[in-house]
A and B are shown apart, each in its own frame.
Chain A
């Protein structure tokens, strides 16, 4: 495993919910990342963010790690869930709430 794969592997297993995004939760730098943060905020679950703009190695590496070409990317307990469109579809269908419940991640 390359260094960057190893780093990503550690990040996604260290936190229950990780969002790889452009910018920070307070200052998202892209509409898609902003939408992803809004969904997680709305559900009131604790989440960790990784700003890929601050880390070119992760920015490229995460695309290969997930086989997914765009940012943001959501991980729950080490499992890749999808990007912002999937998050929105799942949220609207109640599936995201269900996933967090199944993974025993409590909302506020």
Chain B
């Protein structure tokens, strides 16, 4: 089952309120996305923790409804 881009963005923003989220539908099939998440609250956090925060925001959907999400994270310049 696929997920809508807006739903992904909403879940991330709900869990990480200061996040700037960009979602790209890579294949146009609602199943292969790229997400870029930039948040001040990520500052000082190792990259693996930043990704874990995003996965937690998606609450178990990653690897299930959401098969492919290419993720990149960072802090505001």
Contacts and interface: CB of A to CB of B under 8 A. Distances in A.
Contacts of A68: 52, 55
- Main secondary structure on A side of the interface with B: mixed
Interface residues of A, number: 14
- Main secondary structure on B side of the interface with A: mixed
B60 interface: yes
Given A63-B63, A69-B63, A85 B48 contact: no
Contacts of B63: 63, 69-70
A4 interface: no
Interface of A: 32, 63, 67-70, 80-83, 85-86, 89-90
Interface of B: 47-48, 51-52, 55, 58, 60, 62-63, 68, 70-72
